[in-house]
Structure 1
Amino acid sequence: MTYSQIAAPAAMPVTLAEAKAHLRVTSDTEDDTITSLIAAATQYLERDTGQSLLDQQWRAYFDAVPRDGVLELMRSPVRGIVAVTIYDSAGNPTELDGSEYYVNLVSRPARVRLVDGVTAPMRANGIEIDFDTGYGEAGTDVPDMLKRAVLVLVAHWFEFRGVFDAADQPVSVPALYARLTRHFRFLSV
């Protein structure tokens, strides 16, 4: 399966003021650097854990329906399904009615199960699921441990920014980051 972001969040989970307070930076000379580190740390955390910190919209692409009919959405937390579209062998789309699939947003990962009788041909990206994800619109909606993980990355990268070339960044991730994010990761068996 493949994912693409359809709509990005309107803000960052950590403000410049919060990051500067965490770093104990009082001047404005580093604002651009800190702002870019917040964006990079947020992007790193979201890709690393599958979490969407602030509200955004994603599209998941599947080639076929699994035997059990369950399509898992490996982003979290999923707040709602926007559309489920199936393409026939000629590439013509059909958007499914809400009665043609069941949704379990409580499970992790969230699951979409097509009702019996709804089929999709084996086709590259033949099934698309558009869904809303995120903890809310503002950084105050994001769990504190995830915000802290962003701040830990920002501080670590800020501290070591001159030691390695820009092309080599991020050069390392502190152990505290892994401890803060471990409960938010998808478990694999």
Structure 2
Amino acid sequence: MARRAPQSYLPAEIPMCERIDGPSAEPLGLAEAKAFLRLDTDAQDGVVAALIAAARQWVESETRRILLSQTWRFTRDAWPPSGLIAVPLAPVRAVLAARLVAEDGTTQDLPLDLFTFAGARLPPLIAVDLARAPAPTRRLGGIVLELQLGYGATPAELPADLVQAVRQLVAFLHEHRDEPGDQGRMPDSILALLRPYRSVRL
């Protein structure tokens, strides 16, 4: 049975996540998408490009896996007692920056060797050296981490099933572009491609 697509890119229960950069490319190129759709003219190039981005975002939202490299900001109120931070999006490729934010807005950069991570597991985990990590002085949102997420910088680094899901979803959205009421129900064939990549929601 087909499932209804989510109405937003990120679930409401994860307000601490914010994309700040990327991706610089899409999993599917415009020429490849047009060939798949059997379009011979440039008349719909803008529409097709928008559908590619929408399909990629839907796949990312459904799986909570970021496809091509993006920089995301994660905000926390305190260090977890266990020293382990579960990241709600995968895969994590790098910890790019970390800082504390004081009540007056001033920031303190933290050394990156405070952190080690297992970025490919689900969910990804970041281990914090609590013996060295200073406590935040701001009650809410005093810890900020900037992470590089994604499988890589090019479509060739993506799992083939996820690229195929984007391809099929572009075709589905293009076919139903004039029927907004039908776009909310995704075909079972697309959901089957995504099923191995879906994880339990945190």
TM-score (norm. length: structure 1): 0.86
| Equivalent position amino acid for 1:35 in 2 | A
Partner of 2:161: 145
Alpha-carbon distance in structure 1 between the residues aligned to 2:112 and 2:27: 32
The percent identity for this pair of structures is: 31
Is the 1:51–1:75 contact (alpha carbons within 8 Å) kept by the matching residues of 2?
A: yes
Please report how far the alpha carbon of residue 122 of structure 1 lies from its aligned counterpart in structure 2 after TM superposition: 6.5
The partner residue of 2:147 within 127, 131, 153 is 131
Is the 2:115–2:128 contact (alpha carbons within 8 Å) kept by the matching residues of 1?
A: yes
| Pairing 1:162–2:162 present | no
Q: CA 1:45–1:106 in structure 2 vs 1: closer, same or farther (change >3 Å)?
A: closer
| Pairing 1:176–2:189 present | yes
| Pairing 1:113–2:154 present | no
Secondary structure of the corresponding residue to residue 147 of structure 2: strand
Partner of 1:30: 44
Please report how far the alpha carbon of residue 45 of structure 1 lies from its aligned counterpart in structure 2 after TM superposition: 1.5
The partner residue of 1:64 within 57, 69, 78 is 78
Alpha-carbon distance in structure 2 between the residues aligned to 1:11 and 1:188: 27
Q: CA 1:25–1:125 in structure 2 vs 1: closer, same or farther (change >3 Å)?
A: same
Partner of 1:84: 98
Alpha-carbon distance in structure 2 between the residues aligned to 1:62 and 1:27: 49
TM-score (norm. length: structure 2): 0.81
Structure 1 residues 146-155 or 97-106, which shifts more?
97-106
Is the 1:64–1:122 contact (alpha carbons within 8 Å) kept by the matching residues of 2?
A: no
| RMSD, matched Cα | 2.1
Q: CA 1:15–1:157 in structure 2 vs 1: closer, same or farther (change >3 Å)?
A: same
Question: What is the total number of aligned residue pairs between the two structures?
Answer: 186
The C-alpha deviation readout for 1:128-156, integer Å capped at 9, x for no partner, is 11111122222222211111111111111
Structure 1: gaps (5+ residues):
none
The partner residue of 1:19 within 28, 33, 45 is 33
